[in-house]
Amino acid sequence: MKRFIQILPLVLATVLTGCGPKWQEVPADGYRLIVQRGGATLGVNSAPLLEQDGYLFKDLNRNGALDVYEDWRLPARQRAEDLAAQLSIEEIAGLMLYSGHQSVPGPEITDRQRKFLEEDNLRAVLVTTVESPEVAARWNNNVQAFVEALGHGIPANNSSDPRNEPRATAEYNMGSGGKISLWPTPLGLAATFDPALVRRFGEVASTEYRALGIATALSPQIDLATEPRWSRFNGTFGEDPEMDVAMARAYVDGFQTTDGSEDGWGRQSVNAMVKHWPSGGPEEAGRDAHFNYGKYAVYPGGNFRTHLRPFTEGAFKLDGATRSASAVMPYYTISYGADPSGKNVGNSYNRYIITDLLRGEFGFDGVVCTDWGITGDNGAIENFDGKCWGVENLTVAERHYEVIKAGVDQFGGNNDKGPVLEAYRMWVEEFGEQSARERFAQSAVRLLLNSFRTGLFENPYTDPAEAAATVGNARFMTEGYQAQRKSVVLLKNRGGALNGLNAKPEGVLDEPGPEAERAAAAKVSKVYVPKRYFPQSRGMFGLSQGPAARWDYPLDRDVVERYFEWAEDPAEADFALVVIQEPSGGSGYDVDDRKKGGNGYVPISLQYRPYKADYARTVSLAGGDPKEKFTNRSYKGKRVTTTNEADLDLVIDTKKQMGDKPVVVFVQLSRPFVPAEVEPWTDVLFVHFGVQNQVLLDLAARKAEPSGLLPMQLPADMRTVEEQAEDVPHDMRPYVDSEGNSYDFAYGLNWSGVIRDERVTRFE
């Protein structure tokens, strides 16, 4: 269970439980902390304090009176409505902004941050990298002190994309902590088939977030991943609707619930902004909508409504008292053909998608925030700039106006209130001043609610020492590591190939027992770890270049030698351990193809060897853009090569070198791949979705029992990939391996064989 811990002097407890005052100030680092018996704890910097009925309240607007919005005894909605009524349109326009990505290398506020906080009245700040938990806490406190002194004293609602995903080279040391606890990726969480574990992750992560000064999570990503080529597949809970519903509910409950609160909201809560309505999963041919060439979501199977279920049956119908996720982010895509009126524009511009469906039919009254940068101009088909799909011919201000008319409250990645104020003037001109004020106040109430309910108006500050002690503490690190081990899927174990191998007793998470003692007395097996070719890495969506291409070991030798003896020569080894990545088959668009006279569209391959798209559609389902003179985005008959074909060669060459000795292969996946090229050359085959390298060694050393299950199908070949429908789950022909096992959804092995437990029967 989550806990917010504030250590108080013993004398304070005596004062507060006696007959003295109902409040007491206690020491705090950089702010004043007021603890009240039977009342709210206040964190304050410069705001005057008002006393009423023996309690203290913050006079945030400094008018000498206790306003409704300042009275923590009143319901959050009543307070939000009172404050919204007091705000100017300029202040409301600021609430409707959501900052671009903000790095926190130190505790001081930058001049740029001061500008958007003061001049643009922005209060939703997206935090990316932080130097340390203590620095993050001090930066948060500086931000909160700054905005407390402005206008109505509205606190900053800091937020974050997912922060707890593992790093392969991060070492786990039992009993020690880290910068933040490391848990499986969303696809890895899905592979555990355990909603209770996902809820526990939410509880831990939200505790860490609040210690860092973060009150909103831009997660979970609950798109139903029915298109196997999609580059954002790894951020989802996979392709199964029932799984996605259960995981979405568990995740949001874990983040939003404050234990012991009647309505579930409080100081432990973190708002969950679920994404991406109405699902970005069915991207045509897998191309992603961050780019013009991937802006269409398609529904050849007629399954538009199925993609709504993780939202409408999961995130909007929680088991916990908060009842529903507090915020939603639509995806960039044009949900092609979904609007009965025939209008094909990006989801945040589509009134049917936002007002008629989300707000009307499904009753969602929380915050709707656009994805980042949708109102900017798009310079070229392949550019990563503005994502104004379907409204390319409008001005920036007109796009803001269309978004607000569609029913959206907030603009992701926009630090400038100017276009929002222009949109307000357009509303006044079309519908009148009263209507414009009512519409903007409606969004203001929704936005303010998420700060009132999480206690930010009472205490937005966080203790730097507590942040250092909470974030990444030993207990959280251990829980995350154990969850990572549960997320790895064993696909093949020919003849129990690992049974005869002996590992050192060191390096194991669990306490040593008789088996470890026997292993210590046995001859330790020797392992051959071949170097892997690392192509030049690219950043998110291929936008930045990483280190130059190189040959290197995929595992650190010092870590490997905690488990096995190291063998330089495969002839001296008892087994080989090969660590590779999924095929890197491109984004679906090639500028060179366009320059040579083609349309630019190419296949996305899920196999290592060169691929020719003989079975692709002759005519694309959707297409067209002002910058293109055609509407057919077909790539039939075109070829594509992967950048890491050497990974397949590495497996084959290693097996040839090892002969009859076991070859153990780990493949890291962010989406499905075609196993047919790799599996015949393996004795033991694992797939994982991003874990610390020690987890791989724990499994190779049989220090952990595999329990993960496939959260998606692995296709037999690329033909079944091309012929499946982007919006339909479970519609590929799964690969069947040399042992006769089908790599279908919910398949996985433990050391005894195929897993058939209650998790499988629940979700299959």
Which residues does the annotation mark as catalytic? 240, 371
Q: Which tokens hold the place of 491?
A: 């696909």
CA 401, 444, 205, 130 torsion-angle sign: positive
Amino acid residing at 577: L
CA 577-229-756 angle, 5° bins:
60
Q: How far apart are CA 281 and CA 288, in angstroms?
A: 9
Burial annotation 698-711 (CB, 10 A radius, 16+ → b, else e): bbbbbbbebbbbbb
Joined together, the tokens standing for residue 745 give 């959804």
DSSP code string of 200-213: HHHHHHHHHHHHHT
- DSSP-H helix ranges across 659-732: 693-700, 718-723
The bridge status of strand 32-36 relative to strand 23-26 is antiparallel
| CA-based nearest residue to 619, from 645, 592, 601, 606 | 601
157 beta partners: 124
Q: Are 661 and 573 in contact (CB under 8 A)?
A: yes
Partners of residue 721 on adjacent β-strands: none
DSSP string, 615-626: TS-SS-SS---T
Amino acid (one-letter) located at 86? Q
H-type alpha helices, 97-227: 111-118, 133-148, 186-191, 195-212
The kind and range of the H/E element at 244 are helix 241-256
Query: Which tokens belong to 501?
Result: 């191998």
Residue 490 DSSP SS3: strand
Please name the residues in contact with 500: beta carbons below 8 A apart, sequence gap of 6 or more. none
Say if CB 660 and CB 592 are below 8 A apart.
no
How many residues are given for the chain? Answer: 764
Distances (CA, A) of 225 to 239, 240, 280, 689, 719: 4, 8, 8, 15, 19
Report DSSP state, residue 535: P
The rounded distance, in Å, linking the Cα atoms of 87 and 441 is 9
Secondary structure (DSSP) of 307-320: GGHIIIIIITS-SS
Amino acid in the structure at residue 203? E
